[in-house]
């Protein structure tokens, strides 16, 4: 005769009860991602709650109805790669594309639109400074060189999770252009505007989905003001659909 009792001998649960129980849905966050590009680009597979154009729309809508002291300053930073891709798609010059893109964002309610070429130069200068520092101490530190520099969050994530302590000492500590821009916007620019970092909503337009992963890293979260350096990342593909 078939028994409905669990055979583990350590519990008195009934199989019929176990079958009736509903398992809690598993949620995958961007921090769990290995950036293999297998599912991160699929909206059906990964729930990206804070990294979509819908979040920007919500913020712009909120600003229209919120009290003046509750509104946030919305800043968009556009990467040169995204600008070039949009120019090619629309068959326009890069400068003309930049002007139209700026006008488009401002028509939606965005206050400032910046170019991340500026932060890219910052990143290159910092990388140069770090290399010189490592080069000078290579005799006393065997892991000073080679210095591996990459602005690709997918590669960084892969290196961290698969090679760990073996390769991490060789990776440059300089932030990517996106995150340098985030630091400048939430730091220097916020001070210029007499605002705190959490009073600015910073959006970047980037060519790669993995930039969403980068922006979501806990490394770039300001605990004091409970805000990220980059609040939202929109990919070039999404922007071209708007």
Assign 3-class secondary structure to 56-115. HHHHHHHHHHCCCCCCCEEEEEECHHHHHHHHHHHCCCHHHHHHHHHHHHHHHCCCEEEE
Residue 238 in any domain: the answer is yes
Q: Please tell me the pTM assigned to this model.
A: 0.78
pLDDT of residue 152: 86
Q: What tokens were used for 78?
A: 């556009």
Query: Which pLDDT does position 43 carry in this prediction?
Result: 42
DSSP state of 151: -
Model pLDDT for residues 161-207, shown as the tens digit of each residue: 888 889 999 999 999 999 999 999 999 999 999 999 999 999 999 99
Closest CA to 208 of 231, 179, 187, 236: 236
pLDDT, residue 46, reads 47
Inside any domain, residue 15 = no
pLDDT of 55 higher than 70:
yes
How far is CA 84 from each of CA 95, 177, 239, 240, rounded to the nearest angstrom?
9, 16, 13, 12
Please tell me the predicted confidence (pLDDT) of residue 157.
83
Let me know: does 70 contact 199? Beta carbons within 8 Å: no
Residue 27's pLDDT is what?
62
In a domain, residue 40? The reply is: no
Average pLDDT in the chain: 83
Residue 5 domain-assigned (yes or no): no
How many domains does one find in the chain? 1
Residue 171 sits in a domain of what CATH number?
3.40.50.1780
Residue 127, Cα to own-chain centre: how many angstroms?
20
Q: Is the pLDDT of residue 30 over 80?
A: no
Round to whole Å and give the CA distance between 67 and 70: 5
Residue range of the domain that includes 143 = 49-242
For residue 41, the model assigns a pLDDT of 47
| Each residue's pLDDT tens digit, 98-156 | 999 999 999 999 999 999 998 999 999 999 999 999 999 998 988 889 999 888 888 88
Q: What's the token pair of residue 156? A: 């960084």
CB-CB contact of 77 with 205 (8 Å): yes
């Amino acid at each position: 005769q078939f028994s409905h009792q669990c055979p583990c001998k350590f519990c008195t649960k009934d199989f019929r009860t176990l079958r009736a129980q509903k398992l809690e849905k598993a949620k995958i966050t961007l921090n769990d991602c290995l950036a293999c590009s297998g599912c991160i680009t699929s909206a059906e597979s990964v729930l990206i709650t804070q990294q979509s154009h819908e979040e920007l729309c919500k913020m712009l809508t909120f600003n229209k109805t919120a009290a003046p002291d509750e509104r946030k300053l919305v800043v968009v930073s556009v990467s040169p790669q995204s600008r070039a891709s949009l120019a090619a798609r629309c068959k326009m010059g890069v400068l003309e594309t930049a002007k139209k893109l700026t006008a488009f964002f401002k028509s939606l309610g965005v206050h400032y639109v910046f170019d991340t070429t500026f932060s890219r130069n910052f990143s290159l200068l910092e990388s140069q400074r770090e290399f010189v520092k490592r080069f000078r101490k290579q005799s006393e530190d065997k892991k000073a060189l080679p210095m591996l520099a990459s602005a690709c969050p997918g590669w960084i994530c892969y290196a961290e999770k698969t090679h760990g302590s073996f390769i991490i000492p060789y990776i440059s500590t300089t932030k990517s252009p996106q995150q340098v821009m985030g630091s400048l916007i939430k730091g220097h620019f916020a001070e210029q505007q007499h605002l705190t970092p959490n009073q600015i909503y910073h959006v970047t337009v980037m060519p790669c989905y993995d930039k969403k992963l980068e922006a979501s890293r806990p490394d770039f979260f300001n605990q004091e003001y409970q805000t990220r350096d980059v609040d939202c990342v929109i990919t070039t593909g999404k922007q071209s659909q708007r």
